[in-house]
Amino acid sequence: MYLARHLLESDAFRTTSYSNVKAEFNCVGERIRQNPYMLEQIFREGHQVENHSWSHPNFTKIKLSSAKYQLDQTNFLIEQILGVRPYFFRPPYGAINHEVIQLAVSLGMKILFWNVDSLDWAGLTTKQVMSNVLAHTRPGAIILMHFAGGRGESLEDTVQALPYIIQTLRREGYTFKTVSELLHLPPYQISTTRSALP
């Protein structure tokens, strides 16, 4: 099982760390630039870091050259900070077309999708987030959650829902895996600049 989330709130990071869950953080380049220390902390704790674009545009509504810039800039920044190059790209809004797929392939990346959407970005309450995730989770589920956006740019309800979701799924016999473990794929491309952080 895989929990995808934006890089922003340290409470979300602490929840996964205390629960011994390794998560996938789909990172927006602009937010990484604002919080590089957080990216390093997440990586050192064994979570995976993925590319979620530079500024979160709809990739089907921008020029292909702009889409390439979005991926390249974010990959470059992650590689500069961590010494690893993301293998997975989660397109903002899940918006892709044939050209975007070809672009990702040309950059040696895999496009990452999900099959359980918590809909937390829509301003749901803690109980609604919990119910939405638990009602739709099945073996092999890829669960999408966020920690940026939402009501007043706060998704505190998601942070509050996370411990209960983790405990309930564990009680039901589920285990948590990163997407690379789930799909038997490498977490990162070979870095072209330097060694990964210890």
The lowest-confidence range among 88-97, 171-180, 188-197 is: 188-197
Number of alpha carbons in the 13 Å side-chain half-sphere of residue 30: 8
- pLDDT in the model for residue 12: 57
Task: Decide: 21 and 3 in contact? Cβ < 8 Å.
Answer: yes
d(CA 132, CA 128): 6
Q: Where are the domains of the chain?
A: 2-184
Query: What is residue 4's predicted lDDT score, i.e. its pLDDT?
Result: 45
How deeply is 41 buried, as exposed, middle or buried, from its count of CB atoms within 10 A (0-12, 13-18, 19+)? middle
pLDDT band of residue 164 (cuts 50, 70, 90) is very high
Q: Mean pLDDT over all residues of the chain?
A: 87
Task: Give the tens place of pLDDT for each residue, 34-54.
Answer: 989 989 988 998 999 999 999
Give yes or no for residue 9 having a pLDDT over 90. no
Name the architecture of domain 2-184.
Alpha-Beta Barrel (3.20)
Instruction: Report CA dihedral (182, 184, 185, 187) to the nearest 10 degrees.
Output: 50
What is the model's pTM? 0.86
Q: Does residue 64 register a pLDDT over 90?
A: yes
What is the predicted pLDDT for the residue at 6?
A: 41
How many Å is the Cα radius of gyration of the chain? 16
> Helix and strand tally (H, E) in the chain?
8, 9
pLDDT at residue 97, rounded to an integer: 98
State yes or no: pLDDT of 13 exceeds 90.
no
Instruction: Please name every residue paired with 110 in a beta bridge, in sequence order, or none if there are none.
Output: 88
